[in-house]
Amino acid sequence: MSAISWILILSGVMLNAIAQLLLKAGTNSIGTFAFNASNIIPIGFKLATEPHIIGGLTCYVISVVVWIMALSRVEVSVAYPMLSFGYVVNALAAWWLFGEAVSVERMIGIGVIIFGVFLITRS
Protein backbone atom coordinates (compact mmCIF):
# COMPACT_ATOMS: atom_id res chain seq x y z
CA MET A 1 0.00 0.00 0.00
CA SER A 2 1.38 3.42 -0.94
CA ALA A 3 2.15 6.19 1.52
CA ILE A 4 -0.71 8.33 0.20
CA SER A 5 -3.12 5.44 0.72
CA TRP A 6 -2.00 5.08 4.33
CA ILE A 7 -2.31 8.82 4.88
CA LEU A 8 -5.82 8.88 3.43
CA ILE A 9 -6.98 5.87 5.45
CA LEU A 10 -5.53 7.13 8.72
CA SER A 11 -6.85 10.65 8.07
CA GLY A 12 -10.33 9.24 7.42
CA VAL A 13 -10.19 7.13 10.57
CA MET A 14 -8.96 10.02 12.71
CA LEU A 15 -11.56 12.44 11.32
CA ASN A 16 -14.26 9.87 12.07
CA ALA A 17 -12.94 9.39 15.61
CA ILE A 18 -12.74 13.14 16.19
CA ALA A 19 -16.30 13.48 14.90
CA GLN A 20 -17.51 10.97 17.51
CA LEU A 21 -15.68 12.76 20.30
CA LEU A 22 -17.06 16.14 19.24
CA LEU A 23 -20.59 14.75 19.09
CA LYS A 24 -20.14 13.32 22.59
CA ALA A 25 -18.85 16.67 23.87
CA GLY A 26 -21.87 18.34 22.25
CA THR A 27 -24.36 15.99 23.84
CA ASN A 28 -22.60 16.40 27.19
CA SER A 29 -23.07 20.13 26.78
CA ILE A 30 -26.77 19.81 25.99
CA GLY A 31 -27.54 17.02 28.46
CA THR A 32 -30.00 14.16 28.29
CA PHE A 33 -33.08 14.83 26.20
CA ALA A 34 -35.98 13.06 24.57
CA PHE A 35 -37.61 13.96 21.30
CA ASN A 36 -41.32 14.44 21.43
CA ALA A 37 -43.79 16.71 19.67
CA SER A 38 -43.45 19.50 22.22
CA ASN A 39 -39.65 19.75 22.25
CA ILE A 40 -38.49 18.65 18.80
CA ILE A 41 -37.97 22.22 17.59
CA PRO A 42 -36.17 23.54 20.72
CA ILE A 43 -33.95 20.44 20.99
CA GLY A 44 -33.37 20.39 17.24
CA PHE A 45 -32.28 24.04 17.41
CA LYS A 46 -29.95 23.33 20.34
CA LEU A 47 -28.40 20.42 18.46
CA ALA A 48 -28.09 22.39 15.21
CA THR A 49 -26.38 25.32 16.91
CA GLU A 50 -24.12 23.52 19.41
CA PRO A 51 -20.51 24.19 18.26
CA HIS A 52 -19.18 20.71 19.10
CA ILE A 53 -21.96 19.04 17.15
CA ILE A 54 -21.38 21.34 14.17
CA GLY A 55 -17.68 20.47 14.36
CA GLY A 56 -18.43 16.76 14.59
CA LEU A 57 -20.73 16.82 11.58
CA THR A 58 -18.13 18.81 9.64
CA CYS A 59 -15.51 16.18 10.47
CA TYR A 60 -17.89 13.49 9.23
CA VAL A 61 -18.40 15.25 5.90
CA ILE A 62 -14.65 15.69 5.40
CA SER A 63 -13.99 12.10 6.49
CA VAL A 64 -16.41 10.80 3.84
CA VAL A 65 -14.55 12.69 1.11
CA VAL A 66 -11.19 11.44 2.39
CA TRP A 67 -12.55 7.88 2.69
CA ILE A 68 -13.83 7.91 -0.89
CA MET A 69 -10.37 9.00 -2.03
CA ALA A 70 -8.85 6.14 -0.01
CA LEU A 71 -11.27 3.58 -1.46
CA SER A 72 -10.29 4.67 -4.96
CA ARG A 73 -6.75 3.47 -4.15
CA VAL A 74 -7.18 0.51 -1.77
CA GLU A 75 -9.33 -2.61 -1.73
CA VAL A 76 -12.30 -2.25 0.61
CA SER A 77 -11.37 -5.57 2.26
CA VAL A 78 -8.15 -3.90 3.43
CA ALA A 79 -9.43 -0.36 4.04
CA TYR A 80 -12.60 -1.15 5.97
CA PRO A 81 -10.94 -3.06 8.83
CA MET A 82 -8.72 -0.02 9.37
CA LEU A 83 -11.80 1.78 10.70
CA SER A 84 -11.30 -0.40 13.78
CA PHE A 85 -8.44 1.88 14.79
CA GLY A 86 -11.16 4.42 15.48
CA TYR A 87 -12.39 2.17 18.30
CA VAL A 88 -8.94 2.28 19.86
CA VAL A 89 -8.60 6.05 19.49
CA ASN A 90 -12.11 6.69 20.82
CA ALA A 91 -11.73 4.39 23.82
CA LEU A 92 -8.49 6.04 24.88
CA ALA A 93 -9.67 9.57 24.12
CA ALA A 94 -12.98 9.01 25.96
CA TRP A 95 -11.01 7.82 28.97
CA TRP A 96 -8.72 10.85 28.81
CA LEU A 97 -11.26 13.53 27.88
CA PHE A 98 -14.48 12.32 29.49
CA GLY A 99 -13.25 10.08 32.29
CA GLU A 100 -14.96 7.02 30.82
CA ALA A 101 -13.92 3.64 32.18
CA VAL A 102 -11.47 1.51 30.21
CA SER A 103 -11.63 -1.90 31.88
CA VAL A 104 -9.24 -4.80 31.44
CA GLU A 105 -11.78 -6.46 29.13
CA ARG A 106 -11.88 -3.36 26.93
CA MET A 107 -8.08 -3.21 26.83
CA ILE A 108 -7.95 -6.87 25.77
CA GLY A 109 -10.56 -6.14 23.10
CA ILE A 110 -8.50 -3.20 21.84
CA GLY A 111 -5.46 -5.48 21.68
CA VAL A 112 -7.41 -8.05 19.66
CA ILE A 113 -8.54 -5.31 17.25
CA ILE A 114 -4.99 -4.05 16.75
CA PHE A 115 -3.71 -7.59 16.17
CA GLY A 116 -6.53 -8.31 13.71
CA VAL A 117 -5.84 -5.17 11.69
CA PHE A 118 -2.14 -6.05 11.69
CA LEU A 119 -2.95 -9.48 10.22
CA ILE A 120 -5.21 -8.00 7.55
CA THR A 121 -2.64 -5.44 6.41
CA ARG A 122 0.03 -8.13 6.07
CA SER A 123 -2.09 -10.40 3.88
Q: Are 17 and 90 in contact (CB under 8 A)?
A: yes
| Percentage with pLDDT > 90 across the chain | 52
pTM score:
0.84
> How high is the pLDDT of residue 83?
86
Q: Which of 38-42, 69-73, 83-87 has the highest mean pLDDT?
A: 69-73
Say which residues have a Cβ less than 8 Å from residue 113's Cβ, sequence separation at least 6. 84, 85, 87, 88
How is the chain split among helix, strand and coil, in percent rounded to 5?
Answer: 80, 0, 20
Q: What is the pLDDT of residues 86-101, one digit of tens each?
A: 888 898 899 999 998 8
Using pLDDT thresholds of 50, 70 and 90, give the confidence band for residue 27.
very high
Q: Decide if pLDDT at 73 tops 90.
A: yes
Average pLDDT of the residues in 66-75: 94
Q: What is the pLDDT of residues 48-69, one digit of tens each?
A: 999 999 999 999 999 999 999 9
> How high is the pLDDT of residue 97?
92
